[in-house]
Structure 1
């Protein structure tokens, strides 16, 4: 929730500061690039050190960095502020997922709570509107609450692993799920980079933008909690196929209300794909936090490339071109997963 509150209207805010669509792509992309870097570093740190310490550090840095966004006054300062915020967001997810795994809790149910937070955050942002200072302060406040609550977590014993800080073995041994997810999410981020502007073009108000965005995580919350009995590979296959269908439906929408069915389909597809991919790599590898952190790194890498492509395509070809590209990337990701998994087997 804390992350999402100040996420929704960043493209609109950047445009109000004078940013072009391409610059908006850079602003969105720098957030993801920073997340990629910190996810890789701190996933490994969490495997080698105490999970609780990583969580405290991550939430504390996030509270400070999200507060600093209130001082953004032009595209350059906003880009710097988003870079710091993105770095902080990548510190804690790997450690959190590893913590849940070692406590022998359901990863699907845990991940669904994150989607619930996204739903509440999007809806709250829609109600508040484009008052960015208020959204930035609320984000910082909720991260501060997370920081204080993390003191109540007890440190847990986990297996000792002998790993180097900069080893790429886990990434290369699981190339199928990681790189296929990167492709699919690259296409998705290309759409989300300009999506608030697209909704405004279709006639949506700030409230409806927040409500439409909230549909996605609301459906994820309901779906993710019911995936424990399905196999990981099956979830992944369904996820890629449904993703392509969902983005096609966005292309065909004549007004913002017709976007909602597509958001429901995309929410289901991401639920299958994210839970299936995360479970697959966490169950397959001994370095749990690193494996989970690399999922976040792939999302971050896709955020960089997707944001740049989304900004560029929108600038040159119009908003709907990003959705055509997303369909292509979904199908390419599906094929890549099948090929690489067959080779690794």
Structure 2
């Protein structure tokens, strides 16, 4: 059995914090308000720099899926456990928000959708990952059976078409069906890259931190040159963009090689299993709309450095609160023996699959 890489677990934690910070800036209304105050102001620049630094975090998660998944045993029970977790937050948080927030309304449509989180894409990443999950055995077969030379060509071709092509060539965004990276197809590309890195490492550059910084600077300069977001300044600030792809790869390379102390690993073991819950809580549709949306716009009026400090602090507090809630959810599931339920559902699913083969 291979030794667990806690650097990868640390990357899960750091990436999820970056995702929260990104949503504080975007959904919280900080960048929108900073734009209204004035493009080119220091608050505007700092808000976007923070956003760019954090934007590659979602790509990191898909890379991690490939990096870990290539060596992991495929178990359908894992997706069932995740689905039950998603269903719990989709339903419970709907009811809580509707009961606590006066202006929140739980419509009939909302009540139906909350029981079908994948079908109605309550969480775009999980819906995309749900599809990716069932392709993992085939992607692993591809990664393990193609020789290194062929695999390099596949990875390079994927980057050319789905990253460079999506960003600079195919201006009709439906052409490759990537939806700016909000799709299972882009997650599949990242899965392949992550699996390749696990098998053969990544040797296109030597200094990961330098690449990361250079991509941040390049993205920010292009944003300014194009006149901000309204001038298509997000050219290099989209999940498939080469800048965001290379930033994510640089982060994966950096964290996978970290040498951590036992005291650090102790805390990583506590927080790493909570990260998916942090995502599900703060981006639950009703939470995002009625609790987070536009609530932090006033931070844009603060002095520049206080803006940075407060965005970082508020993001940390949201992350911490969500982690505590997720810890409670895990304890509740343990007491209710939900894992046993997942195993039973998995056995039923496998029996149905085997029965269909005999028909």
More helix by share: 1
Task: Report the structure number with the largest CA radius of gyration.
Answer: 2
